[in-house]
Amino acid sequence: MGLKVLTQMQVTLLLLIAFTRIGTAADDQALPGCPNKCGNVSIPYPFGVGVSDVTGKNCFLEKNLELSCNDSILYAGNVEVKNITLGGQMEMNFFVSSVCKINISNGQKESNTPTLQTASFTISSTGNKFVSIGCDTYGYLNSYVDQAKYSTGCLTRCDKNEANVENMQRDYGKCSGIGCCQVDIPPGMKNISIQASTFDDFDSFSSPNSCSVSFVVKNGGYSFNMDHLKHIPFDKALMVVDWTVGDGACNVSKHTRNACTSDHSVCEDPPYANRSGYQCKCKPGFEGNPYLPNGCTDFSECKTGKHNCARAEYCHDIPGSFVCSCPDGLIGNATNEGGGCQPKHSADAFTKIVIGSGVGLIALFVGVSWLYLMLQKRRLLKLKEKFFQQNGGIILRQKLSAREETSQSATIFSVEELRKATNNFDESLIIGRGGFGTVFKGVLSNKKVVAIKKSKIVDSSQVEQFVNEVIILSQINHRHVVKLFGCCLETEVPLLVYEFVENGTLFDYLHKQSQVPNVSWKTRLRIATEAAGALSYLHSAASIPIIHRDVKTANILLDETNTAKVSDFGASRLVPLDQTEIATIVQGTFGYLDPEYMQSGQLTEKSDVYSFGVVLVELLTGKEPFSFSKTEDKRSLTLHFLSSLEEDYLIDVLQNDILDEENKQEIMEVAILAARCLKLRGEERPTMKEVTMELEGIRHMDKHHWINTSQNFEESQYLLSEAQSTREHGDSSGQQNTGFDSLRELQLIDFGNGR
């Protein structure tokens, strides 16, 4: 905040504000109802002991920061805590590792290896030394990070003559390497163990109880003494550890629960890369506990001398900063740079000052108001720009600019326009929820009804998927593909604006019979044909071939006339014109995934054909693709369908009430087509263009000729031979015994008899 010269009235008001702030500042560093101290050691939150007497909740932020207080001694686990600072450090009395010679004659030793196992505590590399003491001693400080072991340490050996050792040890009190060695500790060591060891030389000293020891000690916390070669008078040493909260850096924690809850706190990452978690700090001008709500409070720049006023009495604290003003009887600029305050010379001067002050006050008010509005506007613009970049706006803008010459171009909507369209995203306008996010119904200013998709918060790995969906949909213009009108990137989560398709999904239409009547076969066949036409367009008629990768009934929408529209292109991929397959991470919906794609990771157009085959089976049977509630042989709809088709039990899997004398041949043709789409080898499946042509032909076939053409008979023979080959040689995908042995008789099945 800039420094200002104020009138006496302003000074009085500011003093009242500052005194009120100081009077209400909280001294407690713990949560309400939680102990502030154990003995003489303060316990600041996020550390804590037990549960709150007020709220009944934990006094600590996370399990690793839970402490205990026994007999006025504070413990972290079984280690005594001596001091905790909100700067991210803790002092504790940690155990000394020792190996003692209890019987020289037979070489018996007694040793211990203390450990400190917690990801929240890291041994301070700047505040400690690792020390080993003895004349035949070597010690290790081991650290375990991401299941890998790292070690540092030192060794010291001496002459067995004690006088010679004392002769060599000239710097008394210092650990110089003779009888005592010390090393710096590398950064990032956590989950530590200390291990003191001795060489097999038992003649260094005659004392049977001499020990070799190793320990971590705070800088300046240990002075070497020759007597320590025979016996060290302590079993614990003061050690400094760095602590953090959470299990990720600031850019990760902001998407989850962040511990920096104070209005004036900020998140800071640790100073080195291999340290997990983060810390909270109060902003400049504030002090206190940044982990507590309202824990960061304003401190007095005037009392601490952190100001540039000409004299201390000219300084007045305000929240987060200070101002310099002249007292009564003096005028001028109260800062060092302004020359300080001067006495008044005359009444005329006073009048001029009053007038000038009044004018200045008005100007100041106008200026401050203008500045506030400009700062708010600038802040909002910066926030919008931040979100724009975060949501892939730069990538999207570059890709759309390359297509400006085409007629297909997505509109970039402002967030204000979409808020108005959805009544500020009123929950009553929600028309869909799912793993992708939430969909709202909205009405634009031109009265056009749209569907606005509000995605969940995305990280950098999801930005490309979002941009992908925009690019793909912006170049598609097909009556059976949901139209993308545009997008908005000015919010924390990206927004997509689609045409509104009001009758829901084909999945709901088929499986929620309580909401809709049973769907007729003619309607099912028409919807299948329309969806197949859309996928055929994507595969072969679009400027760049597109593989949908998530074909399912939940992604086929129905409008007011139950016309099909394929939607949700978040997982889709563009296929370069010189390629027929793409290597990708397997993605899709269980029950619809192509087994060949799952095994190879090679995505082709035939993967969509397989998924569409499952959709055809769903339309024939009215059943969901997979159900854990059914018996094992019926859990997978495709396996059950193909098995029934093979064994002449097709009627058992058809949905009730769709079969009649007029549509027998159509249903058989669609069943055979579905079986072809579900072939294990993609190269043996038809293309979506062929599927579309066959469905069109089925819709217009002569209803009075039940006996099939020779082409159908040949197809049945082909399927039969493949099924027999499958049973003879096995199936790598696990789908055995799903051939169609009896398809040659399928043409003559009397559906009216039930089998």
Cite the active site residues.
550
Give the dihedral sign, CA 698/699/702/706.
positive
Would you call 670 exposed, middle or buried from its count of C-beta atoms within 10 A (0-12, 13-18, 19+)? buried
**Strands (DSSP E) along 595-653, which ranges?**
602-604
Q: How far apart are the first and last CA of the chain?
A: 86
- Inter-residue contact 716 to 748 (CB < 8 Å): no
The rounded distance, in Å, linking the Cα atoms of 494 and 475 is 19
Q: Which residues contact 359 (CB under 8 A, 6 or more apart)?
A: none
Q: Which residues contact 141 (CB under 8 A, 6 or more apart)?
A: 123, 130, 151, 152, 153, 185, 189, 192, 193, 194, 214, 216
Task: Copy the structure tokens of residue 104.
Answer: 């020289």
**Residue (of 79, 75, 47, 52) closest to 63 by Cα position:** 47
Q: What is the DSSP letter of 737?
A: S
Would you call 403 exposed, middle or buried from its count of C-beta atoms within 10 A (0-12, 13-18, 19+)? middle
User: Which CA distances in Å does 473 have to 223, 439, 467, 655?
Assistant: 73, 17, 10, 34
Q: Where are the alpha helices (DSSP H) in 156-248?
A: 162-168
Give exposure, 246-263, as e/b (b: 16+ Cβ within 10 Å).
beebbebbeeeebbbbbe
Q: What is the DSSP letter of 482?
A: P
The rounded distance, in Å, linking the Cα atoms of 488 and 422 is 14
User: Which CA distances in Å does 362 have to 359, 579, 679?
Assistant: 5, 71, 82
- Inter-residue contact 210 to 193 (CB < 8 Å): no
**Residue (of 270, 241, 271) closest to 127 by Cα position:** 241
The rounded distance, in Å, linking the Cα atoms of 437 and 421 is 18
Name residue 581's beta-bridge partners: 604
User: Which helix (H) or strand (E) is 675 found in, with range?
Assistant: helix 664-677
The rounded distance, in Å, linking the Cα atoms of 351 and 353 is 5
> What single string gives the DSSP state of each residue in 308-349?
-BSSGGGEEEETTEEEE---TTEEEE-BTTTBEEEE---HHH
Q: CA 225: distance to chain centroid? A: 53
Binding residues for ATP: 454
- Inter-residue contact 608 to 682 (CB < 8 Å): no
> What single string gives the DSSP state of each residue in 515-554?
TSPPPPHHHHHHHHHHHHHHHHIIIIISSS-EE-S---GG
Would you call 589 exposed, middle or buried from its count of C-beta atoms within 10 A (0-12, 13-18, 19+)? middle
* Amino acid of residue 153: G
| SS3 assignment, position 220 | coil
Strand 411-412 relative to strand 484-488: parallel, antiparallel, unpaired? parallel
